[in-house]
Each structure stands twice: as C-alpha cells, then as structure tokens.
Amino acid sequence: MSNHYHHLGKLPPETISFFREEILKRMDTLDNGHVQFDEFLNKKYLEIFSNPELKVQYWKEQQRYIQKGFVMAPGGGLRIHKDGTRCKAALNIAIQCNPDDWLRWYDEETVTKLGKETLANYGYSGSLTRHVDIDDYESIDYIEESRVSEGDVYIVNTDVYHASKCTGPSNRIILQTKFEGFPDFETLVSELTNQSFSNLINQETVCI
C-alpha cells in the first residue's frame, strides 16, 4: 500500500456536479486559490458523509469549518510544501480536473538539499504551511505521483513534501476536508476504507 495516496472510490456525477456548481457560485470569495465552505456546503457534505468517528475540523475563532475547494487555473501549480505544522492527512474529492493533472510526493532529503523551508501563515486551522523555495519543482525527481479523474475520493498524506500541477485546459478543483484531532494518513485509511460516503462507488484510479 502507498504511504502517500489511498483511493476510496468515486462519488456519483450528480453529487460532483452539485459541489462544482456551488463552488463556482462562490468564486467571488476566492482567496489564495481557496473557496472556503460555509454552513450550507458543510451541511450538504455531511448529508452523504457516513463516518461518525470523524468530525470535520472547526476553527472557532473564524467560525468556519476547515473545508474548502482548491481552485487551480490551467497552467497553475502549487510548489513543494507540507501542510500546516499539525496537519498530517486530508480527504480529497476531485470535483473537476484534466487527465494529466498531477500530485507528486518528494523525498525529504532531496528537497531539503535543494531548497529552504519557510512558514506561510494562511490562518487555516491556526497552523502554518511549510513551503520550500524551489521554483523549478516540475523537474525534480519524485517518489510517487497520482492522477485522478472527476469524482475520485482519496486520502492524501500532507505531512510529506508534495506539489501539484494543473495542466489545463480546465480549472482543477479539489474539495478538501480535514478532521478534528489531526489524524495521520494511516488512521484515515483505517477509518475511511470501509465507511466514508453513503453513495460511494468503488472503482480504481491511476497511481504511478
């Protein structure tokens, strides 16, 4: 089993269309490539999320859930980074993507030799994102790559250096959820493999 990526299945087209339309309606709130979920979207998500052991993380100071739509324009990318200093894993849903869009994970030693890590405070869950100042990240050797298709539901390890790229021509939109207690990758795989969404369809995806 991969230590970076775990595919759970797919959600039906009507579910994906609903969330895509709702995220696109909120593009005027786009901030640093994120459309934050409001109470309505969180409620609709919880109508189909069927695991009672996992609670969506809530940021009391901002009175919002740590759920968002990542929106990446064609040709855009996110440089090598790790998520917040306490965040270890996340549950993603591919709302819209291109066949050759990718998410890659990198060897720790390789990354630290090539660049310097800095902390960027976006305020999400009160933690800092750990970015590395490597601009030409597409040419660096990686240890694993995943390419998903619309509707894919998957767990990602955010505590290993990773980067993503939207190859176009459509925006890449990923719905991401983080959970209370900052569970690690192995915990989420264990918790979600048999119980995630009530309307989940089991299918395979591509992992290189």
Tell me the backbone φ, ψ of residue 126, rounded to 5 degrees. Answer: 70, 20
Q: What is the pLDDT of residues 26-36, one digit of tens each?
A: 999 998 888 99
CATH number assigned to the domain comprising residue 186: 2.60.120.10
- Which burial class, exposed, middle or buried, applies to 99 when counting CB atoms under 10 A from its CB (0-12, 13-18, 19+)? exposed
Structurally, the chain folds into a number of domains equal to 1
6 compared with 87, residue with greater pLDDT? 6
Query: What's residue 17's pLDDT?
Result: 98
Share of the chain above pLDDT 90, in %: 69
Q: What is the pLDDT of residues 128-154, one digit of tens each?
A: 667 677 888 899 999 999 999 999 999
Tokens encoding 73: 């324009």
Residue 164's domain spans which residues? 5-207
Query: Does position 86 have pLDDT exceeding 90, yes or no?
Result: no
- The pTM of the full predicted model, rounded to 2 decimals, is 0.91
CB 161 within 8 Å of CB 83: no
SS3 content of the chain, % helix, strand, coil (to 5): 20, 35, 45
Residue 53: CB atoms within 10 A of its CB come to 10
Q: What is the pLDDT of residues 163-193, one digit of tens each?
A: 999 998 999 999 999 999 999 999 999 999 9
Using CA atoms, how far apart are residues 59 and 127, in angstroms rounded to an integer?
Answer: 11
